Amino acid sequence: MSLFGLVSRNQKTFRPKKSSPGSKGAQLKNHIDATLGSGNLREAVKLPPGEDINEWLAVNTVDFFNQVNILFGTLTEFCTAGNCPTMTAGPRYEYRWADGVTIKKPIEVAAPKYVEYLMDWIESYLDDETIFPQKLGAPFPATFRDVVKTIFKRLFRVYAHIYHSHFQKIVSLKEEAHLNTCFKHFVLFTWEFRLIDNAELTPLQDLVESIIQY
C-alpha cells in the first residue's frame, strides 16, 4: 500500500487544514518546507527570527496533525478493534479517551476509535478561529499554549501505539524510514518548545533520548 494511499475508512478523519494563500501561516509553511528540505531537522524546528511564537506553534500543530493522520492512515486495515481492542503503548501503558465535554470520564476504547476521537477533537480546535485564528494579527487566546500542549501529548500517544503495536507491519510496508523521520521531527519540535512532559514520553523513552542526544 502506498504511504499516501489513504484507505476509505480513514477519509472521515483525514481532513488537512490549509492556510489561506498569502497569509502569515502560508509564509511560515513555506519556511517549514524549505528548511525541512535541507535535511537539518534541528534547524527546521527553531523559531524563525522575528516571528511570533504562537504563529509558529499554530502552523506546526496543523502540520504534525496531518503527518500523524497520514501515518495512521496506512495502518487502518491492520489496526482494528479486533487486533487492538485497547489503545496501548506496550503492556504497561493504556490510554483512555475523554474530551472533557461529551465524554468527561475516561473510557476504554479500541485503538482505531481512540484515534478517530482524537483527530475529530483536534480538528474541532483547528477549525475554531478563537483558538487558531486565521487572520493575520488576530490575537491568540491566553490558553493557546495549553491547548497545543494537550494536542501534542495526545499525538505522541499515536506514535507510541504505532511503534509498540505495528512497527513490524511498518517495516514490511517499507515505511520505517519515513516513520522514524516524522517522529524525529516531532520529538525535536516538542523538545525545542517543551510541549510534552517527560513522564508522558516514558513509553518511547529510549527512542526519544537517542533522538535528543544524537
pLDDT higher than 70, residue 67: yes
Tell me the C-alpha distance between 185 and 212, whole Å: 10
Going from N- to C-terminal start, the domains of the chain cover 21-213
User: What pLDDT shows up at residue 17?
Assistant: 46
pLDDT at 4: 31
Work out the mean pLDDT of the chain and round it to a whole number: 85
Q: How does pLDDT run across 146-162, given as a tens digit for each residue?
A: 999 999 999 999 999 99
Query: For residue 92, is pLDDT > 70?
Result: yes
Determine the pLDDT at residue 8.
34
The whole-number pLDDT of residue 213 equals 83
Determine the pLDDT at residue 137: 77
pLDDT of residue 7: 35
Sign of the CA dihedral with 114 first, then 120, 123, and 125 last: negative
Grouping H, G, I as helix, E, B as strand and the rest as coil, residue 97 is strand
What's the pLDDT band for 12 if we cut at 50, 70, 90?
Answer: very low
So what's the pLDDT on residue 119? 94
Q: What cell numbers appear for 181 in the block?
A: 523521520
Q: Is the pLDDT of residue 10 over 80?
A: no
Spatial contact of 51 and 59, defined as CB atoms under 8 Å apart: no
| pLDDT band at residue 9 under the 50/70/90 scheme | very low
Cell numbers 503492556: residue: 91
Residue 80's pLDDT is what?
96
For 187, residues 6+ apart whose C-beta sits below 8 A from its C-beta are 208, 211, 212
pLDDT of 30 higher than 80 = no
Global confidence as pTM: 0.86
The helix (H) or strand (E) run that includes residue 88 is strand 87-88
State residue 205's pLDDT score.
95
**What pLDDT sits at residue 24?**
59
CATH of 21-213, one of 1.20.140.30, 1.10.490.10, 3.40.50.300, 3.30.1370.60: 1.20.140.30
